[in-house]
Structure 1
Amino acid sequence: MPIRYTLRQLEYLVAVGEAGSIVAAAQQVNVSPPSISAGVSHLEEELGIQLFVRHHAQGLTPTLAGRKLLDHAQMVLRQAAVLRDLAGELSGSIRGPLAIGGLSTFAQVVLPGLRRSFVDIHPEVRISQIEADQPELFSLLRQAKIDVALTYDLDLPSDLKFFPMLELPPLVAISEDHPLGHLAEVSVQELAPHPMVLLDLPLSADYFLSFYAKEDLRPNIAERTRDMAVMRSLVANGFGYSIVNIRPLNDLAPDGRPLRFIRLTGNPRPMRMGMLMSTAVERSQLHKTFLNSADSWIKEHSARLSGAPGAV
C-alpha cells in the first residue's frame, strides 16, 4: 500500500523540527497549531515511526529517525520549489511562496508598500516576512529560512550577494525645541556635547559612532535603545538627538510629539539600501522578478525615504 503524504505536511515537519514546538512552528508557517499537530501525527502514522519526542511544556525533540527524515524532507521541499519555478517559467507566470527578511530599523516603512505593489501584479505569489537585525538576516539567509533580505550594505559577508537600490545619507533626528533644532544642517562637532539617543543595534551602532571617531570625538550617549519607535519618542520628548538613515512616514513620534530631521555635514558615509541573497541559491524567475519590482518601487519612493522634511 503506497504511503500518502503532502508537501504541506513535510513543510509542517520541517517547521516543527526548526522551531522545537507546535506553537512556534504554527507562527512560522502561519497556520493553526492543531493543523500542525495533525499534519505531523499523520506523517508518523503513514510512515510508521515516531518523529518527535513530546516533552510536557518543553516542546518537541526529533528522534534519530526524525532527524534523518527532516534532512530528506528539506531536500524534497527544495526540489519541489525547483519544479514549481520551472513550471512558472514555462507558463510565463510568477507564482509560489517568497520569504522576505527586513532590517528592523526600516522594515515597517518599506516592506508593506513594496509587498502590496508586487502582489497586486502577481497575486499567485504568497509572501511572508520577518524583521531582524543585520546578523540575524545573514543567518536566516544561510539557513534558507528567507529567500531575500531588504537591508543595508553594512559589513556584508562574501557568501551573500548584495543588489544596491538606494543611497541613504544619515540624518539627525531632533526635537523642535532642541538648541540645535532650528538649523538646516549640523556637524558632529556641534552634536557631540549634547545628549544622544543611540539606536543600539548590531553593526548599526558602530556605523553611527564612526562619525565621531573619524573626528576624534566621543558622543554624549545618554540613552540606548534597539527600537526605532522608542528612539523617536525619546528624541521628541527632549532626551537627546539621534542619527538615522531613513526617515519615518511623517514627522511625529509615536506619542504624537513633533520631530525634525536635519542634514549631517562632513560627508559622512551613506548607507545603501538593497536586497541581499545567498550566493549558494540559484535565482529563480520569481526572485528576479521581485528584485526588479523592488528596485523600481524603492526608486519611485526615493525622495520620501531619503529626504529631510522641514530642514530647508
Structure 2
Amino acid sequence: MNMEQLEYVVEAAKTGSLSKAAQRYYVSLSAVSQAISILEAELGLVIFTRSRGKGATPTPEGKVIISKAQEILSKVEELRAEATAYSSIVSGELRIATIPGPMHLLIHDVSTFKKEFPKVKIQLFEKGPHEILQGLDQNQLDIGLLVLSEDVIGQDSQLLFQRMFEGKLVVGVSKYSPLALEKKISPEQLAAQTLILYEDDQIRAHIQRLEANYGQFDILFTSNNVQAIQNAVLSGIGVTVGLDYSFSKHVSTGSQDIVAIELDLPDEKPIYYGWAMRRGKQSSPIAKKFIQRLDLG
C-alpha cells in the first residue's frame, strides 16, 4: 500500500471515473487501474465496481476503505503543514513583553523554546500594562503577558486575551512581623500599616478602591525597583501589596524572609494573568508556536 494508491482511490470516488483520476494525476488509465487492483488484492476486497456506462462505483466495503483513505490523506496534509510551519520558524525574531512581577514564570518556556529554535532571536522586555498594549497596537511587540480584570477584557473587543491563571492579592510582610502569623489580613489591618508599593496600574487601582472605603493609606513610597521594595519590607519599615504569583520566587511560608498573606477581599473581582495579542494583526509563525507552548504549559 502506498500514497499514490490512496490518492487514486479517493479521486476516483470523487469523480466517479478512473479516467478522470488518471487525468488529475497526469498518469495513464492503465496505471490507475492497475494501482487500485493491486490495492484491492492486498486488502482482499473489491473497492469499485467498474463498468463502461457507469464508471467506477464504490462497493459498500469500498466506501469504508475510501473514507479511511481520505482520513489518512488528510493527516498527511496536516503533517506536511506542521513541517512547513517548523521550517518557517527556524529563524526570525520574537518580541515578548511581560509585566515585571511574573517574569520568572516565563523563563522555562523561553529557555526550552530557544533550545528548540536556536536561530530565533528572542527579545524579552519588562513593561507596564499600558506600554504592552501600546506595543501590540504599534507592532512593536508580538506577544504581551499581563494582568487584566474581567472589566478590561470585556471593554476591548480588539484584544485577544487568553487566561493562563487567576491571581489574588496578597500582603508581603517580614517574617519577623506580627502579621506573619496571620492566615489572612483584613483591609482594616492593612490600613494601619505603612505601605511600600510596586508601580503598577492594577495595584494602584486596588489601593484606590480600598482607600475609598477605609480612608487614606500611609504609602511610604512607590517604585518599580523590586530590590528596593524587598529591602524596605525586610527592614520592617512597611509591608507591600501584590499579586500572589509575583511573590512565588521570593516568598513562601517557612524559612523565607518575606511571607505572603492573602488579603481578605470577599467581593473582589477575579484578576487574570495571561497572554495578549491584537485581533486582525497577522501573527508570525514564531509567535503562534510560542503561544502553543504557553497554552500547553
151-160 or 175-184: which moved more?
Answer: 151-160
Counterparts of 1:225-304 in structure 2, within 5 Å, are 225-245=223-243, 246=245, 247-251=247-251, 258-267=257-266, 268-297=268-297
The structure 1 segments of at least 4 consecutive aligned residues displaced by more than 4 Å after TM superposition are: 87-90
Question: What one-letter code is carried by the residue in structure 1 that aligns with 2:251?
Answer: D
Matched residues in 1 for 2:272 and 2:251: separation? 22
Question: What one-letter code is carried by the residue in structure 1 that aligns with 2:121?
Answer: R
Q: Identity across aligned pairs (percent)?
A: 21
Q: Any idea what the Cα deviations from partners look like across 1:248-285, whole Å, max 9, x if unmatched?
A: 41339xxxx81111111133334211111111313344
Matched residues in 1 for 2:222 and 2:214: separation? 21
Q: Report if aligned partners of 2:187, 2:214 keep a CA contact under 8 Å in 1.
A: no
Question: What one-letter code is carried by the residue in structure 2 that aligns with 1:242?
Answer: T
Counterparts of 1:215-234 in structure 2, within 5 Å, are 215-234=213-232
More helix by percentage: 2
Match of 1:110 in 2: 105
What is the deviation of 1:203?
4.3
Matched residues in 1 for 2:147 and 2:186: separation? 23
Match for 1:149 among 141, 144, 155? 144
Q: Any idea what the Cα deviations from partners look like across 1:171-226, whole Å, max 9, x if unmatched?
A: 1100122232211211111111111112232343113432443x444322222222
What is the deviation of 1:165?
0.8
What is the deviation of 1:126?
2.5
- The alignment partner of 1:180 has SS state of helix
What is the deviation of 1:136?
0.9
Higher-Rg structure is 2
What is the deviation of 1:137?
0.9
Q: Report if aligned partners of 2:193, 2:218 keep a CA contact under 8 Å in 1.
A: yes
Q: Any idea what the Cα deviations from partners look like across 1:5-33, whole Å, max 9, x if unmatched?
A: xxxxxxxxxxxxxxxxxxxxxxxxxxxxx
Q: Report if aligned partners of 2:203, 2:241 keep a CA contact under 8 Å in 1.
A: no
What is the deviation of 1:243?
1.0
Matched residues in 1 for 2:192 and 2:173: separation? 14
Q: Any idea what the Cα deviations from partners look like across 1:136-164, whole Å, max 9, x if unmatched?
A: 11111111011011111154544322111
Question: What one-letter code is carried by the residue in structure 2 that aligns with 1:229?
Answer: Q
Q: Report if aligned partners of 1:188, 1:211 keep a CA contact under 8 Å in 2.
A: yes
CA-atom RMSD, angstroms? Answer: 2.6
- The alignment partner of 2:219 has SS state of strand
Q: Report if aligned partners of 1:105, 1:227 keep a CA contact under 8 Å in 2.
A: no
Q: Runs of 5+ in structure 1 lacking a partner?
A: 1-86, 298-312
- The alignment partner of 1:205 has SS state of helix
Matched residues in 2 for 1:88 and 1:229: separation? 47
Matched residues in 2 for 1:89 and 1:145: separation? 27
Q: Runs of 5+ in structure 2 lacking a partner?
A: 1-79
Taking structure 1 as the reference length, the TM-score comes to: 0.59
Give the number of aligned pairs: 206
